[in-house]
């Protein structure tokens, strides 16, 4: 039997029913594809995926249409949706784009950072460190997102922040939140970023932000290599 998009997950929680449900399904399948949970050439079955996520077929179909538009899946006539090829260059390109945008946002945020804003970033990072130590994946994801959201808010660049938000959709957050080594590395990186911002060193803030995204790319590539996705 051909594996479905969620067959490698042992416990898949039912998704909440709300208007953007298809977006939730798309995010779930996108994360599986980007982390190697479902591989190029494998089919994403509508019925099986709907049953495993506890939703109807309609949001799954809508999600796959979205992912087809993003080039992550392809429609095979009379057979269904199959995961499109994913290369090492694809991974590097995604993180390069994220890093480029995030670096510029960090530079701008440095010039706007107040003592109160820096204290807020320190508080978020301390909470993130505690979540990493506790292995609380959901909390890790929320705090990591919250940290960068605060940096982006300080930058005051709405359009750049919007582009980054769309680019990070391709980051498999569950892969990172489940990796304690990444969590410890991320909190250390955040600490260096805060120090650079406090010193008014915009160039170093940008460089540290880029290193953070480069580290993410390297960890994901190493993981995909271990899974044999390109064998």
* Residue-wise pLDDT tens digits, 79-100: 999 999 999 999 999 999 999 9
Sign of CA dihedral 162, 163, 165, 169: positive
Residues pairing with 44 in the sheet: 81
Measured between alpha carbons, how far is 168 from 95 in angstroms, rounded to an integer? 8
* pLDDT tens digit sequence for 9-20: 444 544 444 548
- Assess contact for 103 and 159: CB atoms under 8 A: no
| pLDDT-based confidence at residue 231 (cuts at 50, 70, 90) | confident
Reading the block at residue 27, the tokens are 């995010």
């Amino acid at each position: 039997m051909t594996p479905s998009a969620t067959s490698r997950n042992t416990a898949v929680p039912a998704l909440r029913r709300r208007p953007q449900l298809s977006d939730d399904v798309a995010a779930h399948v996108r994360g599986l594809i980007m982390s190697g949970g479902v591989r190029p050439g494998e089919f994403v079955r509508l019925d099986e995926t709907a049953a495993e996520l506890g939703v109807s077929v309609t949001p799954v179909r809508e999600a796959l249409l979205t992912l087809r538009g993003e080039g992550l899946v392809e429609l095979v006539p009379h057979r269904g949706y199959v995961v499109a090829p994913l290369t090492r260059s694809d991974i590097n390109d995604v993180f390069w784009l994220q890093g480029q945008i995030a670096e510029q946002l960090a530079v701008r945020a440095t010039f706007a950072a107040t003592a109160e804003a820096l204290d807020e970033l320190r508080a978020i990072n301390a909470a993130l460190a505690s979540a990493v130590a506790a292995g609380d994946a959901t909390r890790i994801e929320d705090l990591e997102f919250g940290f960068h959201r605060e940096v982006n808010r300080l930058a005051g660049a709405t359009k750049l922040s919007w582009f980054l938000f769309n680019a990070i959709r391709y980051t498999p957050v569950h892969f990172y939140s489940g990796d304690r080594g990444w969590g410890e590395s991320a909190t250390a990186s955040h600490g260096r970023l805060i120090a650079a911002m406090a010193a008014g060193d915009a160039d170093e803030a940008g460089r540290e932000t880029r290193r953070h995204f480069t580290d993410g790319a390297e960890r994901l590539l190493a993981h995909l290599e271990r899974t044999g996705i390109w064998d």
